[in-house]
Structures are given as C-alpha cells and as structure tokens.
Structure 1
C-alpha cells in the first residue's frame, strides 16, 4: 500500500469562536500532530460565516513551516480571471512549494449569483481558467477571452504554477482533471466510485498524452468513541441534507470510530489508488480530532 497523506480542513469561524481557537493555532496544531496538510474552502455567500480562502491559507502558511497548505477548493470562475491569477500568485509566493490549488466549479447557484456570473457558464469559465492560469502566473502577456487586439494582461511577480487538483466526481470533472490537472480531488465518494473514476481518469489522461493525475479524496467524520461524538448516522443525515442525496447512498461515507477502525477505512481508499485524504471534522474538539487522525495515519505506515 502506498503512503497515504492525511490533511484536515481548518476550523470555520463558528468553531474558532466556540473552541477559542484561531487559524494560526489550528494550523500549528495540525503540523505538530504530524498531519500532512491543512485546507480551507472558498465560500462567497453561503449564509454561514466564512473567511476568504486566500486570507485563511496565507495565515496558515505564515504560522507553519512544513505542512501542505491547500484550497479545498478554489473557484476561479466566479472571479475575473486576472484577479484569480493574482490571488493564486500571492498565495504561491507566501506558501512557496507547500501550496496545492484545489479547483472547482461548484458552490451552488447562490454563490454564482452573488458573484454576478451566470451559473450556466461555470464549466466553460473553469476550463478557460485552467488553460490560461499557468501562462498568467508565469508572467506571460495574455489576451483574455472576449478581448480584441494584442495580448495585454501581464502579471508580476511571476511564480511557478502550483499543483492543481480538480475537484468533484462528475464525468466533466474527471475529463477536466485528465486534461489540465495534476490531481483529481472528488469529495464524499466511496471506494468503488473512486476505483471506477480512477480507471476512467487513466484512460483519458493517456488520450491527452499526460501522466495520470494523483488521486485525493475529501471526506468527513469524527474519530473516537462514538458515544462522545456524532455517530455515522447523524453525519450521514447531514451529508444527505446538505447535498440532496439519499441517506442510504451516503451512510458508509463518514469516517467514525476509533483510530484503528478509521485506519482500515483509509487503507481501503489507498488500495483503490488514493494518495491523499482531506478530512472535514464533523464534531468534537477540533484539536483532539487532529490528534486522532494522526493516530490513524500512524497506523497506516
């Protein structure tokens, strides 16, 4: 079994306030626990309090020295492309080689309406972003879509393009990952679906004469004694409600139980070709959850 990297989603604003935990403390705790990455989502207008992803990740990077810093996931297509490139370039500059850029086209119609971007344009705009971002970050002079004349947009300082992990499990996302991505980064999917997606990903990557992208999976759970934490059924009900999926379809997705049990679940993902798992904490003390995830990680070595 390949070594599996384990990352954790940084605590949201509500959890930070409730548990007296700021982002600097959280990032340092995850690093000291031995985890491999800290991650933060990109939420414009969800109704819940959320920090800007670039601010959160820059804070986490400044407070740590080793751990990977990742966007889970950045949505470039809700921004003017040059502005998205400038934000990514700034993150790459302060995070150096630790930055991983998860990229997606989700967030629901409300987020796109808040950004003033038609929801139906999310796919083409994401493809355009993935095609042009490497050139923009490299400091090339680029003509943006719909602009006549000679290329005129040139950003500085130039930085290397960070690894791009394309989010979502949809057929379109797998095609996008095979064409543009260094990784495929679906969330809340089972082992069988990962294996099926991996086979399709390899086929499409070969057609583009590209290396097969790395596979990472986003997960959620609460590790420890189930009497003290939200159980699998409760977490599954939350997933079903949030994403409009049948409860029975998602019942096996939460990572719950003692670290040894969670390690077995993670090992099954690794056997299906997964190289990284990024876990959102679904309950309990965030710091303790990092420690328990680190225990599960140690059992995989």
Structure 2
C-alpha cells in the first residue's frame, strides 16, 4: 500500500454525445460500484462536438446513484444569469441529497467566442462577471434575500451551498479561489506546479482573512495496452490547447500499471491535493475506470 493522506478519486463521464439517460445513469452507477468518489461532467454551450447540458446530465447521474458526488468540471457561470444558475444548483443539490460539487470557471480562448456572442455577454467581461456571480451565488443558493440587478429575490426551495471549486491554472484562478473558493481546481498540471500554487493560495487566503482553500486536480489517464494508440494525440492536444511545452505535456497524462498510477496519485496528494478527477485520454473508458479503481485501492 502506498501511503497518502486521504485522496478522493473521481472520473469524468464519457461518450455523452450519443448517450441516453439510461446510459448516463448506468455509467454513474458503474463508477459508484467501482468505489469512485465522484463523477464529473464538462459544461459547453457551443462545443466542437455534440455535448448535452451539464445540469441535466448530473441530475440524471444523481438519480441513478446513492453515494457518489456529482460535479461540474467546470460550470461556465458567467454564461448564465446568476439567479437562474443558483436555482439550478440549489435544485440539483436538494434532489441529489447534498452531493453536488460546484466547479466554476470563466472559460478561455481555446473554447472560442461563439457561446459568448450567442448569449450577449462580451468575452472580455467573463472574468468580472464570474467574480460578481460568485459573490452572489452562496446567498442565493442558501435562500437568503439577495439583490440581483434591480430586484431583491429569494430562491426557494433553498439548499446547502455545495463546495465551490475554482477551475483554472492561472494566477487569476488562484486569486479567485482565495476570495471565493473552497478549493482550487487546476487541470493538466504537474505535482510541482500544484505545490507552488498551493503555497501562493495560502498566502493570498491569509491576506484575505480566510483559511487556505483545499486542492483538487483534474488529470487524464491512458492505461493498459489498448490506450497507447491515442496517447500522442492527447499530448498534442495539451500542447496546442493548453500551451504546454511538448516535454511537459508528455509528463501530464498518467500511464502505466495500477501500482505506477497509485504512485503518481500519491505525488499529487503529497503536493496537497485531496481530490483527483480523471478523464480517459484513450482506450475503452470502462476498462480505464477499472484500472483506476485498482490504483485507488492501493492508496
């Protein structure tokens, strides 16, 4: 057994483009049966490939399971009126039995500008609007009278405020986490970068008079012989989409045996991460999840 402090492990729901509600529910149950701690889904209005609504997917996953947490990885909050977002989140939190993890991000150039044009939100204002929404969201979800625009409203039914994870690898994301987040949620990042970000996060949170937020990390796996074929394509995507140098991009995906995977996860735990959310870069996702579960059992 590899020692680490408690590290929770989640997986990203796959093949959503053509999935039925039964298939999404079945995938979430499969993750729960494997002992995973969470299932996550992305949030795209105008994606490159068909991608269903994140709130609906997570509601379907929650209805099919009993224990596993359901998470946004991440909700692009500024695309939505904050009152509507609060209503959706509160309802999902209530109906899931307080199992929501609210990852929040502001999107970026790699996701394009079409969605922002479609909803009439200037792309350049996404950061400011994200911060404004995060300031209002907890009160709205909790059912507190909150002034939004020109009206004071109260969301009902209210719910407990889910943990808010702030997505993004940038200094801006770390500052946003220090002000508004329960955890920093970077993706495709090395353990060394996680540790450095954690130190900066603790400094900023202290200056703001808040306890240091937690850490969660998004990553990708390519495990077993059937996953190697798509690995290089995933590395190129990290290089082109995330701007990572190729040598660093090759270090980010987690490969190898369950024992080697457990060792890599332990490195993130030692850097301060308490939750790792893993997507599958290649190969059959069911088999990938089984191998992740084997690695998780070794922690």
Normalising by the smaller structure, the TM-score range is over 0.9
Displacement of 1:16 in angstroms is: 4.2
In structure 2, the partner of 1:165 is 165
Query: How far apart, CA to CA, are the structure 2 residues paired with 1:141 and 1:270?
Result: 39
**What corresponds to 2:176 in structure 1?**
176
Offset of residue 14 of structure 1: 3.9
Shift of 1:110: 2.7
Q: Following TM superposition, by how much is the alpha carbon of 1:13 offset from its aligned partner in structure 2, in angstroms? A: 2.3
Whether contact under 8 Å (1:232, 1:256) holds in the other structure is no
- The TM-score, its normalising length taken from structure 1, stands at 0.92
Structure 2 residue aligned with 1:224: 224
* Kept in 2: contact 1:15–1:21 (CA 8 A): no
Aligned equivalents of 2:26 and 2:240: distance in 1?
A: 31
Q: How many residues align?
A: 293
Q: Quick check: 1:203 aligned with 2:206?
A: no
Matching residue of 1:62: 63
Tell me, yes or no, if the aligned pair for 1:205 and 1:211 is still in contact at 8 Å.
yes
Q: Aligned-pair distance for 1:142? A: 1.9
Q: Note closer, same or farther for the CA distance 1:244–1:200 as it changes in structure 2 (3 Å cut).
A: closer
Alpha-carbon shift at residue 290 of structure 1 (Å): 1.1
For the residues of structure 2 that align with 1:199 and 1:228, how far apart are their CA atoms?
35
CA separation in 1, counterparts of 2:169 and 2:242? 13
| Structure 1 residues 45 and 7: alpha-carbon distance in aligned structure 2, compared to 1, 3 A threshold | same
Q: RMSD across aligned C-alpha pairs, in angstroms? A: 1.8
* Cα distance in 1 for residues equivalent to 2:296 and 2:41: 20
Please tell me whether the aligned partners of residues 143 and 156 of structure 2 are also in contact (alpha carbons under 8 angstroms). Answer: yes
Aligned to 1:126: 130
Residues 32-63 of structure 1: per-residue CA shift (max 9 Å, x gap):
01111100111100221111000000000000
Distance 1:125 1:228 in 2: 40
Q: What secondary structure does 1:152 align onto?
A: strand
Whole-angstrom distance in 2 between the partners of 1:97 and 1:222: 32
d(CA) in 1 for partners of 2:138 and 2:209?
Answer: 18
Distance 1:229 1:73, change over 3 A: same
Partner residue in 2 for 1:44: 45
Q: 1:221 offset after TM fit, Å?
A: 1.7
Name structure 1 gaps, 5 residues minimum. Answer: none
* Correspondence 1:24-173 to 2 at 5 A: 24-106=25-107, 107-145=111-149, 147=150, 151-173=151-173
Indicate the residue corresponding to 2:278 in structure 1: 279
- Mark the runs of 5 or more structure 2 residues left unpaired by the alignment: none
